[in-house]
Amino acid sequence: MTRLSALRRMRGVPIALGTALAISVAAPVAFAIGDTSAPNVPPPPAVPARAAQIQNIDQVKTAIKGYYGDTVSNQVDPVPNNIDGGDSLLHFASSTGSYANEMHHLVNQAKSYLDSEALNHDFDGLQPAIVLDVDDTLLNTYSYEIYSNFVFNPTTNAAFVNAGVFPAVPYMPSLVQRAIHDHYTIFYLTGRPESQRAGTVANLVSAGYPAPDADHLFMRNKDASAPAYLPCDATPPYCTTDQYKSMTRAHIEALGYQIVGNFGDQYSDLSFDHEKRAYKLPNPMYFLP
């Protein structure tokens, strides 16, 4: 089981960008490279006594842009002028930057693992599967973070999602294709709401992923129509992200699948087990509990 043991950040409620997160990991969960909780970058105290205890936010933003290899496109952002007051060009991550290089290494490791598992295990009669988060696991949202100056807004974010402007996370389409070749069933598990299903599917396809089966793309309904395996999403305060993700993985297991690999950019994508191995993808832009 993995547990978060650092300050939490709700999406849209900023903390110091780039803050490190300390976690404890017990078998069988194994975090691959890309784990951004480097122990030599301690988190600031909850109530700092001095400004020097907090990383300078402008310097952290500059470092994030350098890590992703900030590249300005000729594509105009999808947010209507009456929301953002004017058109601006989208920024994307470089295909040759540090982020892409780190992803290349991680994906190669994961491919080798999936190949090995497919060759050497019979899965006790269960169907082997992998589970993948969407935002910053399959689709890179760097363009939105730059547009929003790292502050989440549900209206502008929905415009980006429904316009399908996010490119693939580097090398992840090839990982999904390898998993399909190895006869894994693919499940997509995202915290995006059901209202964004059409935009999500279209963006996944345009980014190079196979169109997901409708019952293999799990999205959230935070109301009375929540599925029976998520009773905490039927009424407020609703499931935490940890609960939503882990309980959905448990549901997938109950359908007769063994989750061989679970991929996510947030620790809440990976906590509470229900997978054989979990891969933490790099994301220094935001933290979701």
Q: What is the pLDDT of residue 96?
A: 96
Q: Are the C-beta atoms of 269 and 281 separated by less than 8 Å?
A: no
Question: For the chain, how many residues are written?
Answer: 289
**Domains, the chain:** 2-44+100-139+167-280 (3.40.50.1000)
Q: What is the pLDDT of residue 46?
A: 87
Q: Are the C-beta atoms of 217 and 183 separated by less than 8 Å?
A: no
DSSP state of 139: B
Closest alpha carbon to 193 in 229, 231, 162: 162
Predicted confidence band at 35 (pLDDT cuts at 50, 70, 90)? very low
Phi, psi of 41 (to 5 degrees): -120, 80
Dist. CA 156–CA 141, nearest whole Å: 13
Higher local confidence (pLDDT), 153 or 85? 153
Closest alpha carbon to 70 in 185, 136, 147: 147
Q: What is the pLDDT of residue 41?
A: 66
Widest pairwise Cα distance in the chain: 58
Average pLDDT, integer, range 43-70: 93
Q: Could you give the percent of the chain with pLDDT greater than 70?
A: 83
Q: pTM of the full predicted structure? A: 0.85
Is the pLDDT score of 107 beyond 50?
yes
Q: Are the C-beta atoms of 107 and 174 separated by less than 8 Å?
A: yes
Q: What is the pLDDT of residues 67-94, one digit of tens each?
A: 999 999 999 999 876 666 666 899 999 9
